[in-house]
Each structure stands twice: as structure tokens, then as C-alpha cells.
Amino acid sequence: MAKDFSQKVLMIVAEIPRGKLLTYAQVAKKAGSPRAYRAVGSILRRNYRQSKSQLPLDEFEPVPCHRVIRSDGFAGGYARGEEEKEKMLRSENHIIESHKVKDFDLNS
């Protein structure tokens, strides 16, 4: 069951297009477990890899987990550090001020 949820989460996040964002809660809801937003964070934290052998799903490229943020608009954690996550978000034209994504609309 946990493996199925992990795969669902990674597949959902893999589909987030460049320049778009989802919250951990939105990903959890799409994966069928609306209250499992912390589990989503744990799954995404393990997504980071240093070699191909660490890829969580053999048939997928690394998922863009930097595109998942907290519901309060803050960027949230990232395996390579919050600064790197914010750098990646800025490269996708997001506005970050005081660690918060200013152009994110929770209702989008």
C-alpha cells in the first residue's frame, strides 16, 4: 500500500509542468489520501538521487519535486537545501520573497 502511494505521488509530481506549482496537500489529495501531506514530503525528500541506481521509479526521470510547496506559500524543504529550491523556482519565473512564493495562488 505504501509503495503504491509513493508511486502515485511521484507520478503526480512528474506531471507538474514547468512554471506550475502544487502544494504537498494538493498532491496528497490527488494521490487519494488528503491528510497524507507529510508523507508526500517524506516521499519527495527521498526522490533526490546521486546516481541512476537511486531513481525511485525505474521508468521515470527524476521528478521535479521543487515544484511542490507548502500550503502557506513557503517554499518548504528540499533535499539539496532550501536555497537551491528557491533558485530553481526563480529559474521558472516564480517570485520568492523571504522564502515565500509570492505568485502562488492556492486556488489555482
pLDDT digits (tens, 9 = 90+) for 79-100: 888 999 999 999 999 999 999 9
Residue 54, pLDDT score: 44
> Is the model more confident about 62 or about 10?
10
Looking at the annotation, which residues are catalytic?
Answer: 65
In this prediction the pTM is 0.84
Identity of residue 8: K
Angle between helices 2-14 and 37-45 (to 10 degrees): 80
Alpha-carbon gap, residue 103 to 34, rounded angstroms? 24
Q: Which CATH number fits domain 2-101: 1.10.10.10, 3.30.450.40, 2.30.29.30, 3.40.630.30?
A: 1.10.10.10
Query: pLDDT tens, 29-65?
Result: 999 999 999 999 999 988 765 555 444 555 546 688 9
Residue-range domain boundaries for the chain = 2-101
C-alpha grid cell for residue 76? 518548504
Show the 3-state SS of 14-53: HCCCCCCCEEHHHHHHHCCCCCCHHHHHHHHHCCCCCCHH
